[in-house]
Amino acid sequence: MRFDNGLDESTFGSFDSQSGRGCHEVARDFLCLSDEQASCQDDDLCECSWCDPDRPKLGQELRDPDTRNILRPWQQRRLQTLGVAEAYGDIIKELEQLPAAERHSAVVDELRRVKARMLDCGSFLHFVTGYRPASDQELKRLTHANFCKSRLCPMCNWRRARKLAVQLEAVVAEYQRRNPQTALLLLTLTGGRTVDAEGLGERVDRLQEAFKSLRNRKFWPRKVLAWYRAMEVTVSEGRYHPHFHVLLIVPREVADKRSKEYLHKTEWQDFWKDCLGLEYDPIVWIEHVRKIKELTKYVTKPSDYLKWRGCDVGFEADAAAIKALHFGLRRRRMSVWSGEMSKLRGELGFKDIEGDDVDLVENEGFSEDIVPIRHEKYTWCRGKSRKLGSYRLAHMSPVNEGDEDSDAPPDDLWRDSDQDAPEWCVTCGWG
């Protein structure tokens, strides 16, 4: 098996031992550069960017620190996605064993498509790496990748949550800039007691209808100026707990506990109880917003149904939970914006994160103090089994000075990009 630049895995395995080779040889043999491009007269005195000892080597594992120097969990999300994909395979096998009259071939075909997309999700990542001279720091920015956009994909949900955080913070900031006499409240609404897998879809529908009823109450237009609602489903021992996190933008006096306009927790609880038609008090919280990021969790926490089983097994997903979540949340919206915020989101150029055309690649651009220096393509390399592996640097090339678009990868960076990644035996570091 060979990589885009003609190297095979045996070359990758021996590259570290060859790292002492001269700049000219490394540049020519490993970076696909011509003799003229790699013509360094003196390795010890060379100052070109390709001779930098800190520059990543081909075959090196992906490290993508953020501005706080915290590594982004690319490998963990990919391994989690492979675990969920295997669970979909178990669901498909279960349905195929049913009698033909109960099998619903269209549903089985749908699950097969979801599984296939997940297996390929994030199989390659293309970054532009930039250098910040002031802090002697290198930062990566993702510019191209293949994401499956499936609702239960841990990789795509992580990406959605990141984009949603950017959108929500920008929309709220712009709304409050236009309406400075406002405050933020976080309202958490539960649906009562937990339900089993069969009752999940019905409970979600009931919650959505109850929230619509709450918005039709007389107090709502006077107390709430704009809102954003997100649904989260927690999973525990075969039971499911769907609930809402609602960001409320309200007049300042409504957020002041000393004001007569303030709605206390018991008042919200009575309204919500009546909307749900319950005979007992559901759990309700109302508090000031600390971090908008708390509202951007998308659908579920992977840790609720994914367990790490060691380096020989990888992540193992609860197939029963995946099945319940897939069908219980199917064709139901998980996040909703009020009319005012939805309009403002459009004015700012943001798209619906649940739409099929959503771009899960962040492409905001580097700040002015960061200089783009090179393109890097990482390919997922399988480990001892399909559920193990790591991202390895498969190709890189310089960002030429004066390029009109540093995001556009060179044509040769994608050569043979559809081929399967080679097997790679790795030690993951978890256990």
Residue 50 DSSP SS3: helix
Q: Which residue has the tokens 């490993």?
A: 30
Which helix (H) or strand (E) segment holds residue 326: the answer is helix 319-328
HEC letters along 205-259: HHHHHHHHHHHCCCHHHHHCCEEEEEEEEEEECCEEEEEEEEEEEEEHHHHCCCC
pLDDT for res 421? 38
Q: How confident is the model at residue 44 (pLDDT cuts 50, 70, 90)?
A: very low
Vertex 333: Cα angle to 329 and 335 (nearest 5): 120
- Contact yes or no for 80/315 (Cβ under 8 A): yes
Q: How many residues does the chain have?
A: 431
pLDDT confidence tier of residue 298, bands split at 50, 70 and 90: low
The answer to whether 185 touches 288, Cβ cutoff 8 Å, is yes
Is residue 157 helix, strand or coil?
Answer: helix
* Helix/strand/coil for 24: helix
Percent of all residues in the chain with a pLDDT value above 70, rounded to a whole number: 77
pLDDT at 264 over 60: yes
Secondary structure (3-state) at 106: helix
- What global pTM score does this model have? 0.80
Spatial distance between the Cα atoms of 70 and 63, rounded to a whole number of angstroms: 10
CA 55/CA 236 separation, integer angstroms: 45
> Which tops the pLDDT comparison, 48 or 70?
70
Q: What pairs with residue 371 in β-bridges?
A: 131
Contact between 24 and 31 under an 8 Å Cβ cutoff? The reply is no
Report pLDDT for 68. 83
Q: What is the pLDDT of residues 361-374, one digit of tens each?
A: 865 556 667 888 88
3-state SS assignment for residue 397: strand
Q: What is the pLDDT of residue 6?
A: 37
Other Cβ atoms less than 10 A from the Cβ of 423: the count is 16
Average pLDDT in the 264-291 region? 92
Lowest mean pLDDT among 34-38, 94-98, 112-116, 309-313: 34-38
- The CB density around residue 255, as the number of other CB atoms within 10 Å, is 21
Cα 228 from chain centroid (whole Å):
20
Residue entry with tokens 């996190």: 245
Q: 162 or 207: whose pLDDT is higher?
A: 207
Calpha distance 382→1 (Å, rounded): 12
How large is the average pLDDT for residues 266-284? 94
Q: What is the pLDDT of residues 100-119, one digit of tens each?
A: 767 788 899 999 999 999 99
Assigned token pair, 305: 């149904």
DSSP 304: G
Higher pLDDT, 296 or 189: 189
User: Under a CB-based contact definition with an 8 Å cutoff, are residues 247 and 184 in contact?
Assistant: yes
| Residue 415: exposure state from Cβ atoms within 10 A (0-12, 13-18, ≥19) | middle
